[in-house]
Amino acid sequence: MITLRQLEIFLAVARAEHVTEAAKELHLSQSAVSAALAELTEQLGGPLFDRDGRRIVRNARGRRLQDEAADLLQRAHDLQRSFRGDREVRGTLRVGASSTIGMYLLPEQIARFAAAHDGVDVDLEIGNSAVIEDKLVARALDLGFIEGPSKRPELVAVPWRVDELAVFVRKGDPLAKRRRRLTVADLAGLRWVSREAGSGTRAVFEAALRAHDQQVAPAVTMGHSEAVKAAVRAGLGVGCLSTLAIRVELDSGAFVRLRVDGLDLTRRLWRLSRRSGYQSALQRAFASFGADEGSVPGVGRGRRSLESRDRK
């Protein structure tokens, strides 16, 4: 019969792609690790790894087992704590977030969660929405937070917050001195500094334009919100980012928000988890810690707009 220890050894080897390195991690001899792998291979009726030079890499059977083994071990750990009456959540949680959420929303929540749970470490990885989804599907992350709805069937997306984008220019830009509001059609003639393809911010902005049969071609593309801000500050063009990302600059007057008639730039922020597989007690605790959907500061109108849109 397969044992949990065998699965633990298998996962260590899968991570390290080397028996010796896995043995060091587990504080076992190399021969003990090799023996456990050989027995597991026999019990499952075939090899789990292929050799690639000095590395051993999972084959298709190994990749399938890795998903199942990780879930089984987490279930066992949670079961043991439950029967011992241990209600404290412990361990390391791997969270992925798209740029705006990872930079301006999650750090505060992580800090509060860590303060409430002494035995928890949270690793936060920031990337664009597409990358976060890919890593969550690949089990390189436990939870994800992105700025646009997910289209991956392997994932479950739950509304988490409401945010609003803003079109803006630097102080002194000729557009900042105009008193009249812009129309959506006016936007096509502007020079745009945009986030990269795959960014949730860019996807929401382009979707809002498509609702008016409009589109814009970015003159400059940046891979990070802070880079977009730097480019706008340097006078390279007009930007569109979350109000969270530019709140300080709007308050100081360094950036000026441009009002665009009829352009709805409110959006939901989403919490992602895998559709299949076990959700650990730690994952459930973190998800419930910030589960109530609400507006981010200063975006109350956006929430009402979204709710109205959903009823249509």
Task: Return the number of other C-beta atoms located less than 10 Å from residue 223's C-beta.
Answer: 14
CA dist 197 → 202, 218, 243, 264 (Å) = 7, 11, 20, 20
Q: What is the pLDDT of residues 155-181, one digit of tens each?
A: 999 999 999 999 999 999 999 987 678
Global model pTM greater than 0.85:
no
Between 148 and 39, name the one with better pLDDT. 39
Please give the mean pLDDT across all residues of the chain.
Answer: 86
Tell me the pLDDT band of 298, cut-offs 50, 70 and 90. very low
Q: What average pLDDT does this structure show over 66-92?
A: 74
Cα 137 to Cα 276: distance, rounded to the nearest angstrom: 10
Contact 44, 103 (CB under 8 A): no
50's CB contacts (< 8 A; 6+ apart) are 56, 57, 58, 59
Tens of pLDDT, residue by residue over 23-72, are 999 999 999 999 999 999 999 999 999 988 888 999 989 888 887 887 78
Q: Could you confirm whether domain 164-266 is CATH 3.40.190.10?
A: yes
Domain boundary assignment for the chain: 4-83, 91-161+267-301, 164-266
* Range 4-83: architecture per CATH: Orthogonal Bundle (1.10)
Residue 311's pLDDT band (boundaries 50, 70, 90)?
Answer: very low
Q: Do domains 91-161+267-301 and 164-266 have the same CATH topology?
A: yes
Query: Would you state the CATH architecture of domain 91-161+267-301?
Result: 3-Layer(aba) Sandwich (3.40)
